[in-house]
Amino acid sequence: AQSVAQPEDQVNVAEGNPLTVKCTYSVSGNPYLFWYVQYPNRGLQFLLKYITGDNLVKGSYGFEAEFNKSQTSFHLKKPSALVSDSALYFCAVRAYDRGSTLGRLYFGRGTQLTVWP
Amino acid sequence: EAQVTQNPRYLITVTGKKLTVTCSQNMNHEYMSWYRQDPGLGLRQIYYSMNVEVTDKGDVPEGYKVSRKEKRNFPLILESPSPNQTSLYFCASSSLAGGGETQYFGPGTRLLVL
């Protein structure tokens, strides 16, 4: 079965400090990994994705994520947090099952990031 | 502009009164999906569709129906809404070219069932 875990419901950091939002996954086969962000009263916006190749993926707004196959992790990072980064972050994985689950995305429960000024 | 649109954005209704939430995408995507978002539970998939006339259940399909008569539209139907269907609903779409395609989300529909 495919699944995604985000072990922290909340992450609090001070502005200017580095931030990490954790994600681990479980899939059969090669994973396609995604991060989405949700600002208050908005839909989900795509941040970045890992398909293949370099394990460090760069995305929008200065975010990056590192794919670690041995640890089955895909943590989201940013070297210097901004107050405007405060939002709800979702990790997601897509893997191809046999049968009808082709193309499905499986989401974690989300991590609320708060950046304090 | 590439987008997924949903209507209505906000809806208050009463138990048992049938309602439909529309979803439309202009990107010619094969794959469309409905999710509900509840605090502490993240996004849970209700139904999805691989193409016209091809739909399948997600994780929480009870109480919902969908149809896919046209590629661009994927309405969500609640035949007899109940208070436990009060939630924030998102429609999403993506292509199916190779697995790494980004899923695009609509702005959400906030539903309150009294």
Q: Is the pLDDT of residue B4 over 90?
A: yes
Express each pLDDT in B17-52 by its tens digit: 999 999 999 999 999 999 999 988 889 999 999 889
**B residues 93-112 near A, CB within 8 Å?**
94, 96, 99-100, 102-108
Portion of chain A with pLDDT greater than 90, in percent: 73
- Taking contacts as CB-CB distances below 8 angstroms, the residues of chain A near B50 are 100, 102-103
Give the pLDDT score at A38: 94
Question: Quick check: B45 and B61 in contact, CB under 8 A?
Answer: no
Portion of chain B with pLDDT greater than 90, in percent: 79
Residues paired with B78 in a beta bridge: B19
Give the pLDDT score at A103: 61
Among B4, B23, B37, pick the best mutation site for testing chain A contact (most A Cβ within 10 A): B37
Q: Is the pLDDT of residue A26 over 50?
A: yes
Q: What is the C-alpha separation between A91 and A24, in angstroms, rounded?
A: 9
Q: Tell me the three state secondary structure of residue B9.
A: coil
Shortest CA gap A11–chain B (Å): 15
Express each pLDDT in A71-112 by its tens digit: 999 999 999 999 999 999 999 998 665 554 456 788 999 999
Express each pLDDT in B57-76 by its tens digit: 988 999 999 999 999 999 99
Give the pLDDT score at B60: 94
- Taking contacts as CB-CB distances below 8 angstroms, the residues of chain B near A92 are 103
Written in H, E and C, the secondary structure of A54-88 is CCEEECHHHCEEEEECCCCEEEEEECCCCHHHCEE
Residue in B with minimal Cα distance to A88:
B42
Q: Tell me the three state secondary structure of residue B85.
A: helix
Give the pLDDT score at A100: 45
Q: Is the dihedral of CA A26, A30, A35, A41 positive or negative?
A: negative
Cβ-based neighbours of B52, under 8 Å, separated by 6 or more: B68, B69, B70, B71
Residues paired with A89 in a beta bridge: A37, A111
Nearest alpha carbon to residue B74 among B102, B88, B94: B94
Terminal Cα-to-Cα distance of chain A (whole angstroms) = 41
Shortest CA gap A44–chain B (Å): 6
Mean pLDDT computed over A32-49: 91
Contact: A103, B31; criterion CB under 8 Å:
yes
Nearest alpha carbon to residue B66 among B5, B29, B28, B22: B22
Contact: A104, B104; criterion CB under 8 Å:
no
Q: Is the pLDDT of residue A51 over 90?
A: no
Question: Quick check: B71 and B95 in contact, CB under 8 A?
Answer: no
Q: Is the pLDDT of residue B98 over 80?
A: no
Written in H, E and C, the secondary structure of B11-75 is EEECCCCCEEEEEEECCCCCEEEEEEEECCCEEEEEEEEEECCEEEECCCCCCCEECCCCCCECC
Give the pLDDT score at B35: 96
Contact: B94, A34; criterion CB under 8 Å:
no
- Locus of tokens 């529309």: B22
Contact: A32, B99; criterion CB under 8 Å:
yes
Question: In Å, what is the CA distance from A10 to each residue of A22, A23, A88?
Answer: 11, 13, 9
- Residue among A43, A104, A107 minimizing CB distance to B42: A107
